[in-house]
Structure 1
């Protein structure tokens, strides 16, 4: 969720002529990277696809381990054809993470991370690319973001038969926006909000105290409707989404568990701290099973 700086003239325009939410969203959030993968249809098995990674994906495992990744497509209610990825990390996993990734990455770049994370916390991982990201069609927008996760949720439940109580919604940075929206409408096994933002305007203008009608991503107004257990994770030195956002989100969650505040961590390095994996393991293996 980088690239949020606004020029003086743009600040004046925001105050003098408030833009529509989609324009705030486009300015503050969406930075689709150059695609790092393709999804190719198997010539002898129509309807079955394989993952083709390029060098920029930086795959860290063997070709054999890539066989544990299943890719496909699903269609959203707004017409986008979005790419999906199911990573089978553990044969005895009870939970599947529905992961909504951060900005400026795609499924190819996330594939190695998913393989490592899932194997370490004993979860399978299902993810998708937002409209306009990776192999997904369409253009990024706030409305598409919500339609994208709805399509992913329905696909995970119907194609893979995963029950809601066995799904952990995990959102990171911009990915917390669709995660909170979905979690406010469905009860699931649990929710993880990693580097969450209160709203777009509150990121651009830290002194904002209310949600304006033209604001985008108003997660702070939705999170109180999340009925599932929520683990909030945030770096105390986050330079993109200030730590205060994590605190405010945590305080609004009706069923928040003990949060993970990572001392000294910024926006993109929380995963490098030992307590990150330790906290997730405990959350999955202890708090959600007792």
Structure 2
């Protein structure tokens, strides 16, 4: 019930070219030899001095990177370079998804940005939606990004499992952890948690639990709409909140390094 790489289809259905964006195909090799595919989408509209940061986008548990063009366009409009990857077993990435594997995939993406492209850690913003929220929180706990955005995610796999199966000893039965709120406790960069009261898959209370576990500076964005369309339904309030958070976080990082 965790991974759905073939829904709505494993193959890539389009590319950023279809929305007028240039991109680079990226192939990463994880520590265990898995080949991870992704796109690096540079922001050609902003000069190097104007670019706010680079966003590492870790998506949810279904579909692949080609189903995230709406969000890619949104972040591009905010002046960000973007790296988005498919976890092992998703899209054109090899292997089979596992919890430990998704962490290795995220780590490979981080290494690509910092080592291969030479981007400073304090110029990288981590963004994770749904399952990706937990993976991005784990990655943030291992490094020092400029900021972390966790959208429509769960506090832990155990918590979600207990909600779905209230009469089963989920903590004893489940081999998955994805303990988002514990990862967040180890993070000291700015954190934005976004969640909708109308989320039909992951309850609003899960997002609040993540937020309550975060250190200051922390922010909560109350969205509208369902699990998969909340960022669209929320409209300008969503975009404005992201822009404000990103600007504040990057500017603070710049001040800290001067």
Same fold (TM over 0.5): yes
**Aligned match for 2:101, one of 128, 135, 144:** 144
SS in 2 for 1:202: helix
Shift of 1:105: 2.0
2:229 aligned to 269, 277, 282, which one? 269
- Taking the aligned partners of 1:215 and 1:129, their CA distance within structure 2 comes to 20
Unaligned runs of 5+ in 1: 1-27, 38-55
Unaligned segments of structure 2, at least 5 residues: 253-258
Choose the corresponding residue for 1:96, options 54, 64, 70: 54
Aligned pair partner of 2:123 in 166, 175, 199: 166
Give me the TM-score of the superposition, normalised by structure 1. Answer: 0.76
The separation in 1 between residues aligned to 2:17 and 2:139, in whole angstroms, is 32
Q: Of the candidates 113, 116, 123, which is equivalent to residue 80 of structure 2?
A: 123
- Classify 1:180/1:261 alpha carbon distance in 2 versus 1 (closer, same or farther; 3 Å): same
1:74 aligns with 28
1:269, distance to aligned residue in structure 2 (A): 1.2
Instruction: Name 1:188's counterpart in structure 2.
Output: 145
- Separation in 2 of the partners of 1:238 and 1:265? 7
Of residues 195, 201, 222, the one that matches 1:240 is 201
Mapped partners of 1:99, 1:225: distance in 2: 20
- Cα deviation, 1:161-212, whole Å, max 9, x if unaligned, reads 111000000000010121111111111100000011111121121269x993
Tell me by how many angstroms 1:101 deviates.
0.7
- Corresponding residue to 2:92 among 123, 135, 147: 135
Pick from 219, 239, 246: which aligns with 1:258? Answer: 219
- Residue 200 of structure 2 aligns to a residue whose secondary structure is coil
> 1:78 deviation in Å?
2.0
**Change in CA separation of 1:215 and 1:256 when aligned onto 2, cut-off 3 Å:** farther
User: TM-score of the superposition, structure 2-length normalised?
Assistant: 0.85
8 Å CA contact 1:107, 1:134 repeated in 2: yes
Shift of 1:72: 1.7
Larger radius of gyration: 1
Find the partner of 1:212 among 164, 168, 171.
Answer: 171
Tell me the distance in 2 between the aligned counterparts of 1:211 and 1:164. 37
Contact kept, 8 Å, 1:72 with 1:85, in 2: the verdict is yes
SS of the aligned residue for 1:97 comes to: strand
Q: Distance in 2 between matches of 1:122 and 1:218?
A: 31
Aligned to 1:109: 67
